Amino acid sequence: MNFQFLAGTALALAAAVFLPTALADEGHSHDAAPAAPATAALPRFALESEAFELVGVRQGHELALYLDRHADNQPVNDARLELRIGEKDFVAEPHGEGTYEVELDEATAEATGELPLIARLSVGDARDELRGEWHIEAADGHGHDANATPAWRRLLPWAAAALAALALVLAAAVAWLLRRRPATGAAA
């Protein structure tokens, strides 16, 4: 056995041990993609009548309302809009073309579950009442699976095995080199 053979063997062993750790992580595979987990979207609702459509999106304590005509989707800019969420009444303030805003109180902003909705609006001489329910799911606040294991933790056993194998190869190489070395002071 010479040093080149030992070095080649060590390299082959290291490659065999380290290559499994070089496998692709999430998103780098060419397999069929797994179904994406549902992510928590901003809580929203949609109410409609024959004349109007109202969409609401809650973002913190703000509720943005988008009001348009059902027939042609034209924004409604001159409406008086009153909203009843659960047992609380709110008056929407105009905030742009077809948009209105409501400042929610703490209890309504943090509410989850099914909330009854009634929107009363008046546009010129027209009056309408839109009714429905707002289903708000509780969010975990992070938008990811709290039980998911990070990639580096899954690779930890492979890395430990690779380091142990490399240590064994290096120990064998040192032992082999020390055994082949001629003793000092020996006749040649």
Q: Does any domain span residue 93?
A: yes
Q: Please give the residue range of the domain that contains residue 3.
A: 1-23+151-179
Taking a C-beta distance cutoff of 8 angstroms, is the pair 101, 92 a contact? yes
C-alpha to C-alpha distance for 35 and 20, rounded to whole angstroms: 25
- Flag whether 65 is in a domain: yes
Verify that 112 and 171 share a domain, yes or no: no
Q: Mark whether 174 and 132 lie in a shared domain.
A: no
pLDDT value, residue 38: 56
| pLDDT score recorded for residue 17 | 66
Do 122 and 49 share a domain, yes or no?
Answer: yes
Q: Indicate whether 127 and 155 sit together in one domain.
A: no
Residue 131 has what pLDDT? 94
Structural domains of the chain, count = 2
Determine the pLDDT at residue 73.
Answer: 92
Q: pLDDT category, 25, cuts 50, 70, 90?
A: low
Q: In this structure, what CATH number is given to the domain that contains residue 110? A: 2.60.40
Counting Cα atoms < 13 Å in the Cβ hemisphere of 95 gives: 15
Q: How confident is the model at residue 65 (pLDDT cuts 50, 70, 90)?
A: very high
Residues 130 and 48 in one domain: yes
The alpha carbon of residue 7 and the mean position of all alpha carbons in its chain are separated, in whole angstroms, by: 46
Residue 58 located in a structural domain: yes
Lowest mean pLDDT: which of 13-22, 138-147, 156-165, 172-181? 138-147
Each residue's pLDDT tens digit, 86-142: 999 999 999 889 999 999 999 888 888 899 999 999 999 999 999 999 998 876 544
If asked whether residues 7 and 55 sit together in one domain, one would say no
**Residue 37 token pair:** 């987990």
Measure Cα distances from 30 to 24, 104, 109 in Å.
Answer: 10, 47, 43
